[in-house]
Amino acid sequence: MKKMKQLFNAKLRYFALAVLTLVAVTTTMACSGMDTSVLAESIQASAISGVSMAALPIWFVLKDGVKNFKVLSDEERKDFTDEEGTKYLGDLIKWQTKSITDLNKQLSEKDADNETIQKQLKDLTSANITAMKSSLESQGVQLAKVMKELDSKTSTLPMTMQSAILKGLTEKADTLKSMVKNGDTKVRLEIKASQAASDIDAGTDFADMLSGVGQIATRMPLMRSLFNQRNTTKEYIKYNDQETVVRDAKNVAGCAATTHNSKITWKVRTLQITKVRDMVDVCIDMMEDYDWVTGEIRDLVNTDVALKVDEGLLLGTDVYPELNSVAAVASTFAAGAYALSVQAATLIDLVRVAACQISDFGQNNKFNANVMLLNPADQCLMTLEKDLNNNYMIPNWITNDGVNIGAVRVLTNQLVPADEAYIMDTTKGTVVSRRGVTVEFGFENATNFEKELVTVKAYERLNFLVRNVDKNAFMHIPSIAAAITAIKKV
């Protein structure tokens, strides 16, 4: 019980001191911006200047050369100034705190009258709390006066001087806390120099760093998304197509004999899976020192592989190890039955004619063109074509934005050269993949281990499959201008 009471009394005193400290720090923050002369005047006129310790206050009594505290009644303190009242409460709290400490020591003595001492402790602790409350109220009034006076005297001072004063007060925070706690009367503050922005050697060193890394423009891979996708676990894909078909059905008169030459031949073809790879050597120090480098390098090689695949699917030569592609299987546009047949022909008309030709190649049954690939400039010019009266030419079978011409979706691709185009039935193409993209890190390349280099490698194994019987679902227009001329009615 005795230890619990001691702990309670100690916590109570710490709480009171913490509150006083908060008031002192608040005052310190409010005082930013004053010069040394203003501070001196303010302290001399404030509550915390107090009474000089050279003269012994009336609440102390000398007995046998020893200074003893005398608790004054309200009547005895009624004529005190604010400064005297503040000083008295500070000394009272110090005396009460010391007395509580002495009583707690007596409790531990062998023959102590614990009951009497505990009653004294209770009464003294209650009086101590009351004194602290009164001291806080008095300090609050005095500190408010100081803050008001300092604000009025420092409102026109430059910010650099205010910053210097604030720095000085912050450095004296412990002294100010002690001043409020113990009732001390003076504190010395030296302001040696003021600070300006020019004192910082390089302000840019402390800039707000934005997250992420800005990315240079890169075309968006397109081709893969147009076709069917298929996985394989083998290096080769084989498929069996009809090579020739002879259809020789005949009309028969009754039961007369006839001869028939109907016949089918087949051929098995092979597609080999090929590989697209990219790699880069990076110093391991760089990857360890900068956490964003690893992601950047991984994205570099991964994106490079995706862009090379995109290019290969459109323009590959089908000569191993290059990919098979739209360009490798596509037929070449020829006007044929549509030559010199379209009045005032435009690129829009050419799209329709090419789509009709693909449908014709499929016996108007198997192929239906659904995508046209144009260079971005050609697609833009197509949407700007006008008639003789300068009205935009938008027939009812083309969407207002020029994206769909009949059943054909017009897409731009920077890989398509200007004045060229590709039109196709994309359902007849399949991208066959072996596992997908793989990204690896390794030290084993050449002298990597010796030089602390990491090789970052990305690769993918795949190819583009178009059955031989479906090749006519793809068409290349090598010259848009020449093709328009070929179909234009003279």
Quick check: is 101 in a domain? Answer: yes
Looking at residue 326, its pLDDT comes to: 98
Burial profile 86-124: b = 16 or more Cβ within 10 angstroms, e = fewer:
bbbbbbbbebbbebbeebbeebeeeeeeeeebbeebeeb
Looking at residue 86, its pLDDT comes to: 80
Closest to 475 (Cα-Cα) out of 344, 338, 342, 319: 338
Residues 424 and 300 reside in one and the same domain: yes
Quick check: is 213 in a domain? Answer: no
Residues 296 and 426 reside in one and the same domain: yes
In terms of residue numbers, what domain contains 277?
A: 223-237+273-487
Quick check: is 266 in a domain? Answer: no
Cα-Cα end-to-end distance for the chain: 117
Residues 24 and 141 reside in one and the same domain: yes
Give mean pLDDT in consecutive 10-residue pieces for the chain, a chain of 490 residues.
Answer: 45 43 41 39 37 61 74 81 80 82 78 78 78 71 68 59 62 65 60 67 82 89 96 96 96 94 96 95 87 85 93 97 98 96 92 96 96 94 82 70 84 96 98 91 85 91 97 98 96
Quick check: is 404 in a domain? Answer: yes
Domain count, the chain: 2
Distance CA 190, CA 231 (A): 79
Residues 63 and 140 reside in one and the same domain: yes
Q: State whether residue 250 is helix, strand or coil.
A: coil
Single pTM value for the model:
0.59
Residues 176 and 290 reside in one and the same domain: no
Burial profile 385-397: b = 16 or more Cβ within 10 angstroms, e = fewer:
eeeeeeeeeeeee
Q: For residue 188, is it left (φ>0), alpha (ψ between -120 and 50) or beta?
A: beta
Residues 432 and 342 reside in one and the same domain: yes
pLDDT tens per residue, range 346-385 = 999 999 999 999 999 999 999 999 999 999 999 888 888 8
Residues 42 and 187 reside in one and the same domain: yes
Residues 152 and 233 reside in one and the same domain: no
Can you give the CATH number for the domain in which 374 is found?
3.30.2320.10
Residues 144 and 232 reside in one and the same domain: no
Residues 40 and 155 reside in one and the same domain: yes
CB 50 within 8 A of CB 86: yes
Quick check: is 91 in a domain? Answer: yes
Burial profile 178-203: b = 16 or more Cβ within 10 angstroms, e = fewer:
bbbbebbbeeebeeeebeeeeeeeee
Quick check: is 218 in a domain? Answer: no
Distance CA 75, CA 77 (A): 5
Residues 229 and 174 reside in one and the same domain: no
User: Residue 321: is the preceding peptide bond cis (ω within 30°)?
Assistant: yes
Residues 314 and 171 reside in one and the same domain: no
